[in-house]
Structures are given as C-alpha cells and as structure tokens.
Amino acid sequence: MFDRSLAFRLALEYHQLMQLATGTVINGKVVVEGLSLPEGTVVTVLTRDDERSVQLSPADEAELLDALDEADREEGVSAQELFARLQRFG
C-alpha cells in the first residue's frame, strides 16, 4: 500500500536537502564561488555536453511540446499550492 504521508515527508526532505550551485573546473577541481560545504560532503556534479542531443520519438516530442505550451499558459498550480495540497494527505 502506498503511504502518501511518507512520500510527502520524503519529498520535502529531498528538496530541503538540495542546493544548486554552478562552478568552474580549475586545475582539475570544481571551484564554486560563495559556497562553503563541510569536508567530506558528498556532491553530485552534472556537466553540459554540447555535443549530444536528445532524440525523442514523435509522440514524446509532441507530449513535451504540449507540456511546454501548458506551462506557458500558466495552467496548473504553483509549488506552494502543490505542497499545501500534499500536506492534506499527511
């Protein structure tokens, strides 16, 4: 059985523990200005690969374009409203 309360708590914890930072590789090390992390902190590094592109099926591309159009029309709910709704399940 799906525990909505647990899922909500995990989603909040996941987002509260995340930070986004942009850095530059200097002498083989990632340097992030203005961010201080404790020694031993585990981080995930995502890199841009300008050489690759994503290939989508026509159906997936149409679905993505529809979703982008929906976002442009501001349909849906804000993050605040989403979390408020999720709290009702808690």
Between CA 22 and CA 20 the distance in angstroms is: 7
User: Cβ(79)–Cβ(87) under 8 Å?
Assistant: no
> Mean pLDDT throughout 26-40?
88
User: Cβ(19)–Cβ(35) under 8 Å?
Assistant: yes
Can you tell me whether residue 57 is helix, strand or coil? coil
User: Model confidence over 44-59: pLDDT tens digits?
Assistant: 888 777 666 778 899 9
Confidence grade of residue 20 (pLDDT, cut at 50, 70, 90): confident
Confidence grade of residue 85 (pLDDT, cut at 50, 70, 90): confident
| Beta strand residue intervals within the chain, DSSP E | 24-26, 29-31
Q: Which two tokens stand for residue 28?
A: 């083989």
Tally of CA atoms within 13 A in the half-sphere of 74 that contains its CB? 1
